[in-house]
Amino acid sequence: MKLVARIEPGIWALFGAGFMVGSLLLPAWIFVVWIAAPLGWVPAEALGYERAHALAAGPIGRLLLLALIVLPLWNGANHLRHWLIDLGGYARDGVMAPLLYASAAVFSVVAIAAVVRL
């Protein structure tokens, strides 16, 4: 059995969590940062560097930051894999699936290292 087939349930769990983060948390962040703040609905000091760093440096903030970075990576890797399957069939899946999931894993490790160093 191929490695990708063995880890597929875990990948689907990460994909589902990434979809949830992408559909629930990121639009709220985009609304606050790109719409509400420029219109003056949010005080300027609420989005200041010191406050953002203080929120992100705590344990809950680090977990939230990791979820906002890592989970959409896995969602994107899975979507891209299935898009490539739709374009070229399963002929390239033996090469592309490990490449996409390995890149998501590498960038996840990089993100974890960056968040831990906060």
pLDDT per position as a tens digit, 20-50: 888 888 788 889 889 998 999 988 888 888 9
- The CA-based angle 50-54-61, given to 5 degrees, is 135
Q: DSSP of the chain, one letter per residue?
A: --HHHHHHHHHHHHHHHHHHIIIIIHHHHHIIIIIITTTTSS-GGGG-HHHHHHHHHSHHHHHHHHHHHHHHHHHHHHHHHHHHHHHHGGGTHHHHHHHHHHHHHHHHHHHHHHHHT-
pLDDT band at 90 (very low <50, low <70, confident <90, very high): confident
CATH number of the 3-116 domain: 1.20.1300.10
pLDDT at residue 96, as a whole number: 84
Question: Residue ranges of the domains in the chain?
Answer: 3-116
Both tokens of 115, joined, read 């968040």
| C-beta separation of 27 from 76 below 8 A | no
- Over 80: is that where the pLDDT of 101 sits? yes
Both tokens of 90, joined, read 């399963």
pLDDT at residue 110, as a whole number: 96
* Average predicted confidence (pLDDT) for the chain: 86
